A and B are shown apart, each in its own frame.
Chain A
Amino acid sequence: AQRVTQPEKLLSVFKGAPVELKCNYSYSGSPELFWYVQYSRQRLQLLLRHISRESIKGFTADLNKGETSFHLKKPFAQEEDSAMYYCALGKAAGNKLTFGGGTRVLVKP
């Protein structure tokens, strides 16, 4: 069965400090991985996906198949990054998403 684990429920960092959100997955097939973000009072939205290999809002994530991880990183956190972040695994057929439990990021001034 596929599973996504985000070990940290809460990450609190100061503005300008680096932030790393951990995500580990288990899946027997070829994974499609995503990071979704939910800002306060806003709807869930896609932040980035591994297949695009892009940087969005300064965030990057690298898929490490050996460690089955897809950690999200940003070198200099900003206050506007405070939000709930979800790592998600998409099945190739139908792209049903399996979400991790989420990590709340709080960036302090």
Chain B
Amino acid sequence: GAGVSQSPSNKVTEKGKDVELRCDPISGHTALYWYRQSLGQGLEFLIYFQGNSAPDKSGLPSDRFSAERTGGSVSTLTIQRTQQEDSAVYLCASSTRTASTDTQYFGPGTRLTVL
């Protein structure tokens, strides 16, 4: 079946602009995660959603970052007033649940470049 998809695959923006990154999880997966992969920080957790529960936002680096998940499916990660340090590959993953036995399936990522 179809895996996790993300769009756009690449995004170049100017400092100060807002960007939206989209993630389509695997159908039926109730858990959705956002991670960021950057040169300086490696792979780091940002936020996760599980069903209708309140999201765990503990990894968001600042209040310029927000995410929502509509209808328990598609998720959008929004970065407001982008800064150069936001340049990274943003990865989305989904799993059937959030138990440690559940495999997280990753999307191809969105490469964000802030000029």
Q: How far is the CA of A90 from the CA of B104 in the complex (A)?
A: 11
Place the interface of chain B in its size category. 20 to 34
How far, in Å, is B64 (CB) from chain A's closest CB?
21
B90 at interface, CB cutoff 8 A = no
Are B91 and A96 in contact (CB-based, < 8 A)?
Answer: no
B102 at interface, CB cutoff 8 A = yes
Contacts of B106 in A (CB 8 A): 43-45
| Partner-binding segment picked from B12-20, B39-47, B79-87 | B39-47
Are B42 and A101 in contact (CB-based, < 8 A)?
Answer: yes
Place the interface of chain A in its size category. 20 to 34
Are B42 and A102 in contact (CB-based, < 8 A)?
Answer: yes
- With A94-B56, A96-B48 as known contacts, state yes or no: A43 contacts B100, CB within 8 Å: no
B75 at interface, CB cutoff 8 A = no
Binary B-proximity of A81-105 (CB < 8 A = 1, otherwise 0)? 0000010001111111111111000
Are A96 and B56 in contact (CB-based, < 8 A)?
Answer: yes
Are B35 and A97 in contact (CB-based, < 8 A)?
Answer: yes
A11 at interface, CB cutoff 8 A = no
- With A43-B106, A94-B50, A94-B56 as known contacts, state yes or no: A51 contacts B101, CB within 8 Å: yes
B73 at interface, CB cutoff 8 A = no
A46 at interface, CB cutoff 8 A = yes
Contacts of A51 in B (CB 8 A): 100-101
Interface residues of A in 59-109 (CB under 8 A from B): 86, 90-102
B109 at interface, CB cutoff 8 A = yes
Interface residues of A in 30-55 (CB under 8 A from B): 32, 43-46, 49, 51
B59 at interface, CB cutoff 8 A = yes
Seen from chain B, the residues whose Cβ lies within 8 Å of a Cβ on chain A are: 3-4, 31, 33, 35, 42-45, 48, 50, 56, 58-59, 91, 95, 98-109
